Chain A
Amino acid sequence: MKQQSRLGTIPGISYVQKTARNRGWPYVVAWLHRITGLMLVLYVFLHILTLSGLSDPVGFEQKMQWFQKLIPLFFDWFLAIPVIFHSLNGGRLILYELFGNRLDQPVLRGVMVGSGLYLLMLAVIMIMGDQSVSPFLFWVYFFLASILCGYLVTLRLKRSGATLLWKMQRVSGTFLFLMVPAHMLFMHLDPVIGRDAQLILTRLQSPFIKLVDLLLVVSVLYHGGYGVIGVCRDYLSFRGAQLALLVLITTLFFGFGLIGVKLLFLV
């Protein structure tokens, strides 16, 4: 028999290795996609609730002081792990399902390497903490690129006989593929950007930034809501339970959507 590696004796790692041996690495990655998706849904809820504090700029800035401490700052960086992994792996799934890419193994490696590089870059930017960029140019570039990606996927989906809701999940995912990592990057170019209530409120006066943020909120909540419903439907076989879940999740996501939209239009 083969000698087991030291790494394989650690319970969690040994479980993952066994799962990969029995079901393949894409199966493990599919679970990671689910877990990171759920983490991001919680993150988005928290993010919207935090930003809703902008109605009281002084209180908001006081709260934000806490995020300047080292441990919260580390968690801020740590949250980029689910963001970038979910985005890149989502891109991989779109390539596999809709663009006929069957060279999935190299793309999967690319997801891992790409995620690592993004996290490294973000860490460096966070440490430097004094980068500046024109918000308008930054968002014009990423917004147009995301719209283009979404359009390409829409074209590919024309032949599919799937429902409109399913197609919208794919299109919203493609739109977010660049937008969410870009949003995270933008917010960390200069830490002041995210903590200065007056700066945020001024930026939100721009109709273009409003449009970008509105599409971000709507896409994130639709994509997340549909994803959560999809995962739950795998396990709930009773029609009544499925319906109750649908009402519950739709109400919850719609509620957070309203908070987000209200925030954008009341400033």
Chain B
Amino acid sequence: MITTYQITLKIHRYDPALQKHWTQEYQVEAGRIMRFVDVLRKINDEQDPTLAWGSSCEHGQCGTCSMKINGKPLLSCELLVENAVDFFNTTTFEIEPLEVAPRIRDLIIDTEKAYERVDRVKPYVIDPAPADHDDVEENQISPEDLERYVDATRCINCFCCSSACISSHRTFLGPNAMLAAVVRVMDPREREKQQRLDVLYNENGVYRCHSSKACSFVCPKEIDVAHFIALAKEGL
């Protein structure tokens, strides 16, 4: 059994001070169950402390470490070296930041800019419905209601779907923003639906979706994003 791989990383780098873009190659001896975040950290420790990349939870829950590896948007904390070699059938990996927001440095993008699009759909309860029973303060959701959209609530806004989408990032708010809108329209605790519907049926909303289903294909949380956007087209 192979325990280590000699891998080559071709990392797209960017220095904002010099306004310089270049691709830098790193040779790394990586253990088979090392994740790509571990490999990047190893580069920082042993070869190049200037390489900038982002991560937070490193357990596939925050979406901070999303990047494109050999063209596929994914969470680098979830990808093991062994699985990457098997999936891409190579030991050379080209690593780029997601193109969904302006770059800050190397693999780090301006997530605030990316989040602006999600914020437009107001991903929170605006006008909560009153509690449906006198003896409880909370508004309870029936299991049947929840079942319809619970999958969509697992979205971590990693923007992998947005990066993979056939529609460009210039005008489309993005599959994750659409998902956030659909969730709030389906949520029985929310009374204010119109604001979300206005965004969904806006020029930057569902009309920019062409059902290429790449969003569902790349989603690290395995959410069928395209299904929810199709529901919005059909009429929620």
Contacts and interface: CB of A to CB of B under 8 A. Distances in A.
Interface of A: 1-2, 4, 18-19, 21-24, 26-27, 29-31, 33-34, 93, 96-98, 100, 102, 104, 156-163, 166, 230, 233-237
Interface stretch (B25-33, B41-49, B150-158, B205-213): B205-213
Contacts of B200: 161
Contacts of B207: 162-163, 166, 230, 233
A29 B91 CA distance: 29
Interface of B: 70-72, 85-91, 164, 166-168, 170-172, 197, 200-201, 203, 206-208, 210-214, 216-218, 224, 227, 230, 233-236
B210 A23 contact: no
A234 B166 CA distance: 9
A216 B89 CA distance: 49
B118 to A, nearest CB: 18
Given A161-B197, A236-B171, A26 B211 contact: yes
Contacts of A19: 71
B171 A98 contact: no
A31 B210 CA distance: 10
Contacts of B172: 234
Contact of A233 (B71, B171, B211, B218): B171
Nearest to B72: A22
25 contacts: A1-B85, A1-B86, A1-B89, A1-B90, A2-B86, A21-B72, A21-B87, A22-B72, A23-B72, A23-B164, A24-B217, A24-B218, A26-B214, A30-B166, A30-B210, A33-B210, A97-B234, A98-B233, A157-B235, A158-B235, A160-B235, A161-B235, A163-B201, A230-B210, A234-B166
A162 B206 contact: yes
Contacts of A27: 164, 166, 212-214, 217
